[in-house]
Amino acid sequence: MSGVIDQAIEEILANYPYPAIIKETGATIRSLAESLVKLTPDRGRLLDIGCGGLDKTIVFQNLGYSCFGCDDFQDPWYLSNENFDPVLEFARESGVDVHKLTDGYEIPWESGSFDVVTMTNVIEHLHESPRDILNLAGRLLKPGGLLLVAMPNSVNLRKRISVMRGRSNYTPVRGFFENDGVWRGHVREFTLQETCQIVEWNGFQVIHKKTFHGMLGNRLRNPVARMLFKGISYVRPDFRDGVMVGARKPPDWTERQPDASAMEVSLTDAWISGE
């Protein structure tokens, strides 16, 4: 199966307008693809929520899924037509149906019409609870359909070392300080356990969870240091930089409503424990 995934990635590398982006995201795409083909051997209709540059969406299309993507495309890079129009054109030529979100989570596709919904590097950018976007995924999935969520690991080894050195585990403060308008960067990252929790709290049944190296090859250039990092992460998988959770929509799934009493208990417990 790895050969099929390699071929799907090579196909997009040959024609994608910005191949450097694929090289940056390739490890994440590969890890996602490995989980997808393992959990959904029959492929089917796939919706990529927060599809961004559509690189991974096109790879999934090359793997045999019938792919759809949606995003508000409001990050600065996407607002430049010179940047984004070639990507959008290439995605549509590849057979991907792309929709721009303009009013919250209003989308043109029918409820229960997708076999797979993916969300990659989306939830950590939300200023609100992930409950609503997970409810959207639940509405769109068929009973038994797969939800696949991936994001950065909030407790990876690099961040633990930064905190031990008295530095922040957040994204660099200069970018936040210089930002004009609504912050589009990371708001709250999650651990693997927390990612499982939010998916389960939304009524899904977790069937797959793992950590993976998504950015290691790009961010740690020294081969000796990279080998050491991989060795440590082999012993402690929770040190890897990415988390991924796969879950099924049960037949009796219902949308999750906010629970004020649970929120109050959580805040009280955090105050008592000092967390």
Domains of the chain: 2-273 (3.40.50.150)
Confidence of residue 114 (pLDDT cuts 50, 70, 90): very high
Give the pLDDT confidence score for residue 110 in this predicted structure. 95
150 is written with which tokens?
A: 């991936």
Q: Answer yes or no: are the C-beta atoms of 63 and 36 closer than 8 Å.
A: yes
Q: What is the pTM of this model?
A: 0.92
Q: Which residues pair with 146 in a beta bridge?
A: 116, 248
The strand pairing partners of 190, in sequence order, are: 153
Residues 6+ apart with CB under 8 A from 268: none
Q: Which helix (H) or strand (E) holds 137?
A: helix 131-140
- Return the minimum-mean-pLDDT range out of 11-20, 179-188, 212-221, 224-233: 212-221
Distances (CA, A) of 110 to 5, 106, 130: 29, 11, 21
How far is it, in rounded angstroms, from Cα 48 to Cα 60?
A: 9
- In this predicted structure, which of 36-40, 225-229, 243-247, 261-265 has the lowest mean pLDDT? 261-265
d(CA 47, CA 97): 9
pLDDT exceeds cutoff 80 at 92: yes
Specify the range with the lowest mean pLDDT, choosing from 61-75, 102-116, 197-211. 102-116
Distance of CA 249 to the CA centre of its chain: 18
Of the pLDDT bands very low, low, confident and very high (cuts 50, 70, 90), residue 158 is confident
pLDDT band, residue 269 (cuts 50/70/90): low
Average pLDDT across the chain, whole number: 91
SS3 245: strand
Residue 145, token pair as written in the block:
């359909």
Lowest pLDDT segment from 16-20, 29-33, 45-49, 121-125: 16-20
pLDDT at residue 270, as a whole number:
55
Is residue 178 pLDDT above 90, yes or no? yes
CA-to-CA distance for 49 and 104, rounded, in angstroms? Answer: 12
Report the alpha-carbon distance of residue 77 to residue 90 in Å, rounded.
Answer: 17
Nearest Cα residue to 142 out of 119, 172, 169, 111: 111
Tell me the three state secondary structure of residue 142.
strand
Which of the two residues, 271 and 111, has the higher pLDDT score?
A: 111
